[in-house]
A and B are shown apart, each in its own frame.
Chain A
């Protein structure tokens, strides 16, 4: 019997992914987080995701873009099961091969504890069989899902999605509900959903989702079609703002702390979005402006600033810091004004590091404290209150205000003469110049605007943390901000917000933990995986700007437009023949 091409392809891939996740210790580490108590931990979800996903892919087979996909291809479940079987076998072989050797020197995570988790704590013999069986079953489910009817597929995905959401956001949900009895009903004492509450959530998601799917689609169409400035649009925005104001009151300190981090990254993402997304200048040293903001605030407000310590009020320091940032923007912008693309990226990368190393240098240590940093940066005074990082539930509002300012600036810039000049410059710099745009000026304006927004983030950051050290400003921060912008959607304000929420909020930022502390160790790996996936499947980001998505899917749209209007062309030819 010949094995289906896609089974041969995806089966081993699934097995290798499972083995890899086991080898780096991800499965075992994730096993510490209960999702559905006591049956399912995050580790097993990670372990069983590959057979399910690749089983689905094998059942899908070839994707033919020109024809409507045949959904009910028979044997989807069988194909999926075979993928799961192969994946399970590969994983078991991996465990058997590595078991006799002591690899702790190279792969500290390949050990008995790993095998124990992978074999469901049943020992290698019986456990392997269970693993193969479970993997086969999950693969079959993945494959069957492909062939299932639209209602079933949407229902299953929706139920799973909601259950995952409730399990992952346990902390947030607990904070919001805040009634002990209800919380205990939903969540188990040791963490994770109770089995029954998971079932209830799944059922509710299936039922309610299916019932209101049509109405929701209708509503979102209506919202999209609504004119800017119409009542519906305003009321939606109003509801959004209201939710944002209420949310920090409902959740606790830890979640607010996370939200502050997210907001700071949204702020920086919005700034970088102007430079990269709108003006098309790939800046890999963006953290430098963040550092200028943070250190500027530290020097101006902290009484312990080494040499120069005016100990100003934060609000007085802010305009001065903005001016510093603008100057820094010009200083970085001027030498790179004639550079394009890769060269610009490399030079700005250098600038970012230069700033950090200068702060560490003997020359500037007397002013900025070098490795000791600057401590005792006071909080932000608002009326009688002094808000600092110790009261995250108040600090979040300050960051939100600045995010709103930055979003407003981006939005207005985008739809203005300056924004159009940026867009033109991004598309074709030579032509932009030839139609009368001073690219020097446009680039400097972009750099300065971006720098000022980053300095807001820096100023807030130092007031929140109370200390600044150079290691908060290494190159990784620049990269992560860029990843946030790319994953969220270049040039799109909503996209940046979503990207920051997902990456910084859930996975964690470069120096901070996210909602899922288990991810901390594997954060960069997951970032990388997400980035690769996005570049391959959705290069315009999750919520792209209209222009960007045109840029990346232009050829397809062109094709569609041509297909749509083929009729017209025929008419035109006919008309020509007559005349």
Chain B
């Protein structure tokens, strides 16, 4: 059974049909890329899945449960985590705190624990910190050591993207939605991140949906590619099929001149 199964998803913003009957599914352990020209509805697609917007209609079944219209924090708790296209960290928290706060929905100590400093609370705090460090070590030396206590805003652009992934990993998701994870990275960093996305599956057992503009990355990481244009899914298949699909080429480059007459 598919981990995430979406049927006929509709979302309208004013007069703009951002998503128009999108069907989508992903199996456990798959890596699927969502591509499409700017304004195709890719980010809207993520926003609806992650609960930031409720869909107008359609069903989203994740891990056997209907999740359409649930609050973002409920959806995260069920196991969908995401990153943002325009990196949205908590800039004034430290790197470590950013990851620690990501574990919020997997931990449960409240005010009483904090005030009374119960054994449970102390153990949990220690565990949160340990987990956070372990997650950051996934990125090698990039976010290690002295970086832990730096506020997030001093990080380089690439490191912010890494940290955002780390924060998403901290929520212990089954499904990870990455919105343009390599945007703004240099070629070397892009290659590094591409390998990392592979490791997310092989080492962490995550299922990944990734929005990406860099076709090299798409080719290297994805089992399957889904193409959106104007809120409609226009093609789906492996990279080779997609890259030669006429509709896809048209969506990106426009119709050849004179093609209207046909």
Contacts and interface: CB of A to CB of B under 8 A. Distances in A.
B12 interface: no
Contact of A434 (B82, B114, B115, B124): B82
Nearest to A405: B115
Given A435-B76, A557-B154, A423 B90 contact: yes
B101 A423 contact: yes
Contacts of B50: 434
Interface stretch (B13-21, B31-39, B102-110, B201-209): B102-110
A282 to B, nearest CB: 18
Contact of A427 (B71, B93, B186): B93
A378 to B, nearest CB: 29
Given A412-B114, A413-B114, A554-B92, A436 B76 contact: yes
B209 to A, nearest CB: 15
A434 B76 contact: yes
Given A434-B82, A435-B81, A420 B104 contact: yes
A428 B93 CA distance: 11
A310 B2 CA distance: 64
A445 interface: yes
Given A435-B76, A438-B73, A420 B100 contact: yes
Interface in A426-468: 427-428, 430-439, 445, 449
Nearest to A448: B111
B104 to A, nearest CB: 5
A572 to B, nearest CB: 10
Contacts of A416: 109, 111, 113-114, 121, 125
A431 B91 CA distance: 12
Nearest to B50: A434
A409 interface: yes
Overall SS of chain A's interface = helix
Interface in A392-427: 408-409, 412-413, 415-421, 423-424, 427
A435 B154 contact: no
Interface string B56-85: 000000000000000111001100011010
Contacts of A445: 110-111
A576 B192 CA distance: 14
The CB with the most chain B CB atoms within 10 A, among A417, A423, A439, is that of A417
A149 B108 CA distance: 58
Contact of B90 (A431, A433, A439, A548): A431
A8 interface: no
B67 to A, nearest CB: 14
Given A420-B93, A423-B90, A435 B171 contact: yes
B104 A417 contact: yes
A376 interface: no
Overall SS of chain B's interface = helix
B92 A421 contact: no
Interface in B181-197: 186, 188
Contacts of B93: 420, 423-424, 427, 547
The CB with the most chain A CB atoms within 10 A, among B89, B91, B104, B124, is that of B104
B95 to A, nearest CB: 13
A150 interface: no
Contacts of A218: none
A551 interface: yes
Contact of A551 (B82, B92, B170): B92
A66 interface: no
A437 B104 contact: yes
B101 A449 contact: no
Contacts of A417: 104, 107, 109-110, 114, 124-125, 128
A550 interface: yes
A134 B37 CA distance: 74
Given A427-B91, A445-B111, A558 B73 contact: no
Given A408-B115, A427-B90, A434 B154 contact: no
Contacts of B198: none
B91 A437 contact: no
A435 B172 CA distance: 10
B92 to A, nearest CB: 4
Nearest to A409: B115
A385 interface: no
B113 A550 contact: no
Interface residues of A, number: 37
Contacts of A412: 114-115, 117
A427 B81 contact: no
Contacts of A554: 91-92, 151, 153
A558 B153 contact: yes
B167 interface: yes
A461 B20 CA distance: 61
Given A418-B114, A420-B100, A437 B105 contact: yes
A561 interface: yes
A428 B84 CA distance: 13
A550 B95 CA distance: 13
B235 interface: no
Contacts of B153: 550, 554, 557-558
B52 interface: yes
B226 interface: no
Contact of B154 (A413, A561, A579): A561
Given A427-B91, A427-B92, A433 B72 contact: yes
Contacts of A424: 90, 93, 101, 104
A428 B91 CA distance: 9
A432 to B, nearest CB: 8
Nearest to A561: B154
A435 B107 CA distance: 13
The CB with the most chain B CB atoms within 10 A, among A419, A421, A434, is that of A434
A574 to B, nearest CB: 13
B114 A435 contact: no
A436 to B, nearest CB: 3
Contacts of A433: 52, 71-73
Contacts of B170: 435
A66 B167 CA distance: 36
Nearest to A438: B73
B88 interface: yes
Nearest to B84: A431
A428 B164 CA distance: 14
Nearest to B173: A436
Contact of A439 (B51, B73, B82, B171): B73
The CB with the most chain A CB atoms within 10 A, among B73, B88, B100, B101, is that of B101
Contacts of B168: 435
B154 A558 contact: yes
22 contacts: A412-B115, A413-B115, A416-B113, A417-B104, A418-B110, A418-B111, A419-B114, A420-B100, A423-B92, A427-B90, A427-B92, A430-B72, A431-B84, A433-B71, A434-B50, A436-B77, A436-B104, A437-B105, A550-B92, A554-B91, A554-B92, A557-B154
Interface of A: 408-409, 412-413, 415-421, 423-424, 427-428, 430-439, 445, 449, 547-548, 550-551, 554, 557-558, 561, 576, 579
Interface of B: 50-52, 71-73, 76-77, 81-82, 84, 88-93, 97, 100-102, 104-107, 109-111, 113-115, 117, 121, 124-125, 128, 151, 153-154, 167-168, 170-171, 186, 188
Q: Which 9 A-B pairs have the closest CB atoms?
A: A436-B105, A416-B114, A436-B76, A427-B90, A550-B92, A433-B72, A420-B101, A561-B154, A412-B114
Given A417-B109, A435-B171, A437-B105, 13 more contacts: A417-B124, A418-B110, A423-B101, A424-B104, A430-B52, A434-B73, A435-B73, A435-B101, A435-B168, A435-B170, A445-B110, A547-B92, A558-B153
